[in-house]
Amino acid sequence: MTLTTRFAPSPTGYLHVGGARTALYSWLYAKKNGGDFILRIEDTDLERSTQESVDAIMDGMNWLNLEWTHGPYFQTQRFDRYKEVIEQLLASGNAYRCYCTAEEVEAMREEAKAKGEIEKYNGLWRDRTDYPADKPYVIRFKNPLDGDVVIKDMVKGDITISNEQLDDLIIARSDGTPTYNLTVVVDDWDMKVTHVVRGDDHISNTPKQINILAALGADIPQYAHIPMILGDDGKRLSKRHGAVSVMQYRDDGYLPEALLNYLVRLGWSHGDQEIFSREEMIELFDLKDCNRAPSGFNTDKLIWVNQHYMKTLAPEYVAEHLAWHMADQNITTDNGPSLSEIVKVQADRVKTLKEMAQISRYFYQDFTEFDAKAAKKHLRPVAKEALLLVKAKLAEVTDWQAENLHKIIDATAEELNVGMGKVGMPLRVAVTGAGNSPALDLTLALLTKDKVLARIDLALAFIAEREAQA
């Protein structure tokens, strides 16, 4: 039998980091074991499910490169099958019609509560057959009355729940539509899911699902319930904490490798190793090594991981992602250095690709203004001489390479008998518009001769204007 895992999101919003981590763990476990990974869209809540969310979830999965082997399946396309299984449960005596109104059920719960008993439906219609005509009914599962259900959870260990605690849960509403616990069971059964990896917010559903599977004579999958992700305030991670959508992390300038690496470590560890390539994750990941306690989201650590990948992945690859941000910031890049060159000089200077794009604009576009502070400090009349001399020397360069440019800056400083900074800083502000840039020789090399000379002229004009005003 092929090991099969699934990711089963409800399309009621974007793919958030919690969902992405669940998907990642399911995917890794399947990959590691040469198994299949199913994507199943649980869209039975027609009011809250949207096509937009389906697209957003798939975009997130694609961006993270978590490819599925089967699907996407849509639960709304499987209603006939759910009906069939409900009929099967009715016919085998494992389900029954219940004619109680919501108010009656509520009253039962109240009564149980008053007596200090477990609040649940009291089984009024469990064995009745005196069905009233023309009255709406729901269908309930006949949960075993005694005995225990044991969840052999791969993360949390054995969890035992007494059947006394469990309700005869509704499996079909009065309009005939199936409920969540029924659809999940039918799907996990039909899709031959061997390992259910999901958030531990579902743990209370698991004993119910195990009972239904048992009543159907289906194999019970292995379960792995993953603890929640908490925000920095210790509360469950949500929108309040800022970015939680996977695609927002792309927009904010993170590499998919960084988010994946961050997520794999958020709830799982292998010694004190922090950096895992995809191949390593697949090789080393195991559900049984997942943490039992919730994990706290830590943006600083994500930034650290992102910086690691910007610096160590092939510049040509990082450049593909940088290209997205350049386009996002309306920077046309065909008229300038290749983006992989930008990655080489900027990767260790920024936290994100968004920032990398922001600070690389001057390589592709002329700026209309100098950074006020930098200009005030470095484009002063005293800088004129250095700029004129360095420009004259640069104009002579035939082999426009960092090494040669470096020599020219040195020679200029020497000739004027000033420190390197007295030449370098005005030149840097002249060609980049600001006081910060990668090493000046590399920056000049990437900018090309024409641009550098033209920008020095603009800086000289700026100084002249300043002199005129003084």
Interface residues with ligand GLU (CB under 6 A) are: 8-10, 42, 184, 198, 202
Distances (CA, A) of 410 to 144, 179, 403, 421, 457: 86, 76, 11, 10, 20
Counting DSSP H helices and E strands in the chain, the numbers are 19, 12
CB nearer to ligand GLU: pick between 6 and 391:
6
CB nearer to ligand GLU: pick between 206 and 295:
206
CB nearer to ligand GLU: pick between 247 and 397:
247
d(Cα 81, Cα 75) in Å, to the nearest integer? 10
Instruction: Tell the smallest beta-carbon distance from residue 91 to ligand GLU (Å).
Output: 26
CB nearer to ligand GLU: pick between 69 and 404:
69
Residues contacting residue 11 through CB under 8 Å, at least 6 positions apart = 41, 42, 43, 49, 50, 51, 53, 54, 57
Residues contacting residue 402 through CB under 8 Å, at least 6 positions apart = 439, 441, 442, 444, 445
- For 199-220, the three-class secondary structure string (H helix, E strand, C coil) is EHHHCCCHHHHHHHHHHHCCCC
Instruction: Tell the smallest beta-carbon distance from residue 343 to ligand GLU (Å).
Output: 37
Annotated catalytic residue: which of 135, 152, 239, 311?
239
Instruction: Tell the smallest beta-carbon distance from residue 86 to ligand GLU (Å).
Output: 19
d(Cα 318, Cα 381) in Å, to the nearest integer? 41
Residues contacting residue 153 through CB under 8 Å, at least 6 positions apart = 159, 203, 223, 224, 225
Instruction: Tell the smallest beta-carbon distance from residue 115 to ligand GLU (Å).
Output: 33
- For 347-405, the three-class secondary structure string (H helix, E strand, C coil) is HHHCCCHHHHHHCCHHHCCCCCCCCHHHHHHHCCHHHHHHHHHHHHHHHHCCCCCHHHH
Contact 300, 234 (CB under 8 A): no
Task: Residue 31: name the closest of 215, 247, 195, 176 by CA.
Answer: 195
Which residue has tokens 């100084």? Answer: 463
Q: Which residues are paired to 172 by β-bridges?
A: 139, 178
Task: Residue 349: name the closest of 426, 409, 432 by CA.
Answer: 432
- Whether 239 is a known active-site residue: answer yes
Instruction: Tell the smallest beta-carbon distance from residue 259 to ligand GLU (Å).
Output: 20
CB nearer to ligand GLU: pick between 19 and 315:
19
Q: Look up residue 119 and give its DSSP letter.
A: -
Instruction: Tell the smallest beta-carbon distance from residue 199 to ligand GLU (Å).
Output: 7
CB nearer to ligand GLU: pick between 196 and 430:
196
Q: Which residues are paired to 98 by β-bridges?
A: 138
CB nearer to ligand GLU: pick between 27 and 364:
27
Instruction: Tell the smallest beta-carbon distance from residue 4 to ligand GLU (Å).
Output: 14
d(Cα 85, Cα 89) in Å, to the nearest integer? 6
- For residues 248-270, b (16+ Cβ closer than 10 Å) or e, as one string? ebbebbbbbbbbbbbbbbbbbeb
Task: Residue 20: name the closest of 280, 310, 264 by CA.
Answer: 264
CB nearer to ligand GLU: pick between 11 and 253:
11
Instruction: Tell the smallest beta-carbon distance from residue 187 to ligand GLU (Å).
Output: 9
Q: Which residues are catalytic?
A: 239
